[in-house]
Amino acid sequence: MLKPALFETMKNKLGLNISSVLLPGQNIDMQRWSVIACDQYTSEPGYWEDVDNFVGNSPSALRLIFPEVYLESETEDQKAIRIKNINDNMTLYLNDNVLYEHKDAVFLVERVFSNGNTRHGLIMSVDLERYDFNKGSQSLIRATEGTIIERLPPRIRIRENAQLELPHIMLLIDDAEKTVIEPLVSKASSFSQVYSFELMKQSGSIKGWKINDENVIEDLAAALLKLADKEDFKTRYGLKDDNQDVLLFAVGDGNHSLATAKACWENLKKTLTSEELQDHPARYALVEIVNVHDNGLVFEPIHRVVFNVEHEHLLDSFVSYYKDRGCNVRIEKGSGKPESSGHAIKYVSSEGYGYLIVECPLYNIDVGTLQNFLDDYLKKNPQANIDYIHGEEITDKLGKQPGNIGFFLSKMDKNELFKTVILDGTLPRKTFSMGEASEKRFYLEARKIR
């Protein structure tokens, strides 16, 4: 057990809790247990059907999550049955000792992708009291993109009565000197390895090590405390305003999952005593913490496909939208990128490729130009709907289908993320993705929240 002083430092100064993590027992087929984040492949039900067939009757995280591909296609009764099955499976797995508890430990994770790139992270829980997803937040943990409140209710229904949480949330730290995670990577062989296996569907491999040495955890806490030091923070970002509070953790993936955990905690708080509030397990959310400067962390654009639309009408509407706002805007057809000093957003429809050109745009990045228009267009054309796509190939495939149009967006410089969030607030939603769909976080660890 950690010394109380170290535990309190991590909790009170860093918003961290490492008291308990659940991992599958040694007799569990880990390749069938671990499945990709529920918000991936939402336009490809065939992917999830393949996963279901592969998992079969083996214990699996698949039985504890709600793949979002089914959020729109299932009736309310079907969704209620799915959620009940999730809760029942959690009880079953706990009663059957499918999961084994590890106390007072940090877990170092190494993910190797199919292209050979490697990413490292740390598994810990964060204090939801230190997180605020609202616009203008100055909390220690902040969203990097706007949170869509309307997306939370179905996710709240999944979590509010669940005994367990399984995270696909990734939080980022801005550690350019590589003082927090990388020293642990260099001595991983001295830690106890708790898993190592190939992930399903050619998604690479993953290894994990348990770190419960108090001296090592003290060093880890000291490195994080330096990043969280107010004066160091101001120097790092050239801030002169004392009203800017420290941003230590920025949400990289799983923004709405963390917001859901926060919403459930705020609801639960109303029923608890002051003593229960201090250490209730639902006060925390399990996450993977990754350095934004990790060489294996690649920011990929998130593309858009709009369905059930007449693409020429949408293109004409785009031109009208920005002309009304005083912009020089035009559509150019063809696959060759045109000359432009502003934003040139490539699109694909059943008739081929083209570009949306906006000179002197109103927004700093092209995703802002596109998303603000699409939000307006979708409100005025309720028959149309949108999906956010990881990867150019599937965007191209879907965008070419009659009644669809796909848009390709550019990469964001990951080195600018923290300063942008600190100075400008949250980015337009779905601005970036950390890797392609197959490189997203896989469910593996769990934690009791009741």
Cα separation, 209 vs 194, in Å, equals 5
pLDDT value for 147: 82
Closest CA to 89 of 119, 67, 58, 120: 58
Closest CA to 394 of 314, 330, 300: 300
Give CA angle at 388 (344, 263), nearest 5°: 125
At residue 290, φ and ψ (nearest 5 deg) are -130, 140
The structure tokens listed for 59 are 């214990």
**pTM reported for the whole predicted model:** 0.84
| Terminal C-alpha separation, the chain | 21
Closest CA to 98 of 63, 131, 152, 59: 59
Cα separation, 422 vs 237, in Å, equals 9
pLDDT value for 426: 83
Cα separation, 353 vs 358, in Å, equals 17
Cα separation, 51 vs 184, in Å, equals 33
CB atoms within 10 A of CB 106: 24
Quick one: three-class SS letters along the chain? CCCHHHHHHHHHHHCEECCEEEEECCCCCHHHHCEECCCCCCCCHHHHHHHHHHHCCCCCHHHHCCCHHHCCCCCHHHHHHHHHHHHHHHHHHHHCCCEEEEECCEEEEEEECCCCCEEEEEEEEEEHHHEECCCCCCCCEECCECCCHHHHHHHHHHHCCCCEECCCCEEEECCCCCCCCHHHHHCHHHCEEEEEEECCCCCCEEEEEEECCHHHHHHHHHHHHHHCCHHHHHHHHCCCCCCCCCCCEEEEECHHHHHHHHHHHHHHHCCCCHHHHHHCHHHEEEEEEEECCCCCCCEEEEEEEEECCCHHHHHHHHHHHHHCCCCEEEEEECCCCCCCCCEEEEEEECCEEEEEEEECCCCCCHHHHHHHHHHHHHHHCCCCEEEEEECHHHHHHHHCCCCCEEEECCCCCHHHHHHHHHHHCCECCCCEEECCHHHCCEECCEEECC
pLDDT value for 148: 80
Q: b/e per residue, 125-156, with b = 16+ CB within 10 A? A: bbbbbbbbbeeebebbbbbbbbbeeebbebbe
Across the 450 residues of the chain, what is the mean pLDDT of every consecutive 10-residue run? 85 94 96 96 94 98 96 93 97 97 97 95 98 91 87 92 95 97 97 98 97 96 96 91 89 93 96 94 98 93 96 98 96 91 95 96 88 96 94 95 96 86 82 85 96
Burial of 336 (0-12, 13-18, 19+ CB in 10 A): exposed
> Which residues, listed in sequence order, are joined to residue 127 by a DSSP beta bridge?
284
pLDDT value for 1: 66
Question: Are 134 and 238 spatial neighbours (Cβ–Cβ below 8 Å)?
Answer: no
Domains in the chain with CATH codes: 4-298+437-448 (no CATH), 299-434 (3.30.1760.10)
